[in-house]
Amino acid sequence: MTEKRQFRAIKGTRDILPPDSALWNWFEQAAREVFETYNFRDVRLPVFEDTQLFARSIGADTDVVSKEMYTFEDREQFHVAHPLSLVDVIRLDEAVAEAWQHGKIPRTTANEAEVIKLHEACRDIEREGTPAVLRFLDSVRNLALGDSLTLRPEATASVARAYIEHGMHLLPGNQKLYYVGPMFRRERPQKGRYRQFYQVGAEVLGHSEAPAIDAEVLEMLLVFFKRVGLANTTLYVNSIGCKECRPKYVELLREELRKVKDKLGADSQRRIETNPLRVLDSKLPEEQPVIEKLPHISEHLCSACRQHFSELKDELHLRDISYDENWRLVRGLDYYTRTTFEVTATGLGSQNAVCGGGRYDGLVELLGGPAGVKGIGFAIGTDRAILSIQESGSSPHVPGLSVLIARMGAKAYPVAVNIAKKLRACGLTVELPPEETKIGKALGLADKLGARYALIVGDDEAASGTYTLKRLADAEQKKLTEGELLEYLESERRGS
Ligand code: HAM
């Protein structure tokens, strides 16, 4: 008997169903519209990339790369003839030996073990027959010939990769790009934290590092938040210096942290050696008094970074953007330089960051691209932003069903089909039930589906060419010809 199993969405993933999905579409559409007014253009990038792209960009010691990535082998395989003769086995054995010798099979320990096993199985075939052939085939199939791939945990690395791959540095001006889509991190799921989550992000890549770019990006972000009614947000900004001044600050921080090591928890103690900046991120209450006394990066920036940060703050004032300076905002990804920022919102509990971003001036070069390309961008966590909008009770009215057509009688059917088509062509949402029902039942259904109107089409209406339109909110009825009906509903739609 086959097992009766109910499948459920994998832990940390979820289904976005109606009516919420309409809210999601509205949110993403608003982002597109706002970003395009700032001359940003859409990019659609793959959801999986070479694992090394993320390891190099985000940093091998970060939580994202060391613990949270969904990584898998691309399972390319040797072609196995079917049915398999002894000659085929010998040829395959030789092909594997040659591929191994020329490095065409990735030299992992797992692959090495399979190569040894398959050679041994091949040698045993004459003596053992079928069992050895099966062992041989198993090992051939176990060889991981492909690259190591990873589901993207974020998209900045992919944007930088695409920028380099398509020679976009040769295009005029800065490249202003945005993306909308799912990201994957194997984090512990909780409210506002998922393993498949969604981001709306924007990036500017080019040769200029003018603070006006940082400020315009922040202005665009806040204009968007205002447009979607994401109220009660706080913008935090910081500068974490460049490759000249940051290493010196990190060393100073390490020295200071070593002095207070005993007062820190195990995670922070480990980070003193691996990544001392991350200690500043700690939320542990007992570590706070110690962290507060540590040296601030703002006092250790080189003069170019200090000037960049100061000009950014002038630009923010110019644009009427209020912000809090937060010297502890170091962010969890290694590619950042200079400006870093985060936006928090209310109603989210501990996962209250709805957006994070910053500058990454060295990333393109680090990935083998041209020298001197600068970058800055952000990513909004759509799941959290929508949660916050919903919790604040300011969700917009997303138009639902406009008209349900209640039809009765054989002659009414073709008329109903025709009129449904015309109403839909005017942009109205129309439900035409597939089966005929009694008028009372049809009106009940219209009510349950939240339709604004019910249109009654019976044989009499079909013959006379006038229809009864009933508004469900107040039961007001109107008799209208087809032309009047289309005109009336269209003007209603425009007004809604
Ligand atoms: P991030 O801070 O790692 O930055 O993520 C940005 C936002 O994505 C977070 O503020 C949060 O709202 C959302 N987010 C992150 N992880 C999760 C999760 N597990 N569940 C739900 N939401 C999550 C980046 O990803 C950078 N690529 C941003 C950037 C763009 N920097 C420069 N350009």
Q: How far is it, in rounded angstroms, from Cα 326 to Cα 298?
A: 10
pLDDT attached to residue 265: 94
Ligand 1 centroid – CA 302 distance (Å): 28
Q: How far is it, in rounded angstroms, from Cα 225 to Cα 321?
A: 13
Amino acid at 473: A
- Kindly state if the Cβ of 377 falls inside 6 Å of ligand 1: yes
pLDDT band at 321 (very low <50, low <70, confident <90, very high): very high
Percent of the chain residues past pLDDT 90, beyond the cut: 79
Query: Order of strands, edge to edge, in the sheet holding 148-151?
Result: 48-50, 148-151, 71-73
Ligand 1 atom closest to the CA of 185, numbered from 1: 19
3-state helix, strand, coil in the chain (%, to 5): 45, 20, 35
Percent of the chain residues past pLDDT 70, beyond the cut: 99
- Is the Cβ–Cβ distance between 201 and 179 less than 8 Å? yes
- Whether 3 has a pLDDT exceeding 80, the answer reads no
- How many Å separate Cα 361 from the centre of its chain? 22
Q: How far is it, in rounded angstroms, from Cα 400 to Cα 304?
A: 54
- Kindly state if the Cβ of 458 falls inside 6 Å of ligand 1: no
pLDDT band at 437 (very low <50, low <70, confident <90, very high): confident
- Kindly state if the Cβ of 63 falls inside 6 Å of ligand 1: no
Mention every residue, 6+ apart, whose C-beta is less than 8 A from residue 281.
328, 330, 332
- Is the Cβ–Cβ distance between 472 and 452 less than 8 Å? yes
Ligand 1 centroid – CA 385 distance (Å): 12
- Whether 292 has a pLDDT exceeding 70, the answer reads yes
In this predicted structure, which of 23-32, 94-103, 210-219, 389-398 has the lowest mean pLDDT? Answer: 389-398
> Model confidence over 34-58: pLDDT tens digits?
999 999 999 999 999 999 999 999 9
- Kindly state if the Cβ of 201 falls inside 6 Å of ligand 1: yes
Ligand 1 atom closest to the CA of 354, numbered from 1: 12
Ligand 1 centroid – CA 154 distance (Å): 7
> Model confidence over 57-106: pLDDT tens digits?
999 988 999 999 999 988 777 788 878 888 888 889 999 999 899 888 88
DSSP codes joined into one string, 471-488? ETTT--EEEEEHHHHHHH
How much is the mean pLDDT over the chain?
Answer: 93
> Model confidence over 336-347: pLDDT tens digits?
999 999 999 998
- Residue closest by Cα to atom 18 of ligand 1: 193
Q: How far is it, in rounded angstroms, from Cα 193 to Cα 190?
A: 5
Mention every residue, 6+ apart, whose C-beta is less than 8 A from residue 292.
none
Q: How far is it, in rounded angstroms, from Cα 369 to Cα 203?
A: 16
- Whether 23 has a pLDDT exceeding 70, the answer reads yes
- Is the Cβ–Cβ distance between 308 and 210 less than 8 Å? no
Ligand 1 centroid – CA 167 distance (Å): 27
**Residue 263 vs residue 143, higher pLDDT:** 263
- Whether 424 has a pLDDT exceeding 90, the answer reads yes
- Whether 175 has a pLDDT exceeding 80, the answer reads yes
pLDDT band at 160 (very low <50, low <70, confident <90, very high): very high
- Is the Cβ–Cβ distance between 19 and 400 less than 8 Å? yes
Q: How far is it, in rounded angstroms, from Cα 210 to Cα 216?
A: 10
- Residue closest by Cα to atom 23 of ligand 1: 381
- Is the Cβ–Cβ distance between 351 and 261 less than 8 Å? no
- Kindly state if the Cβ of 374 falls inside 6 Å of ligand 1: no
Amino acid at 415: V
H helices of 167-245, in order, are 211-227
pLDDT attached to residue 85: 86
39: number of Cβ within 10 Å: 11
- Kindly state if the Cβ of 357 falls inside 6 Å of ligand 1: yes
Q: How far is it, in rounded angstroms, from Cα 87 to Cα 69?
A: 42
Q: How far is it, in rounded angstroms, from Cα 150 to Cα 60?
A: 14
Ligand 1 centroid – CA 223 distance (Å): 19
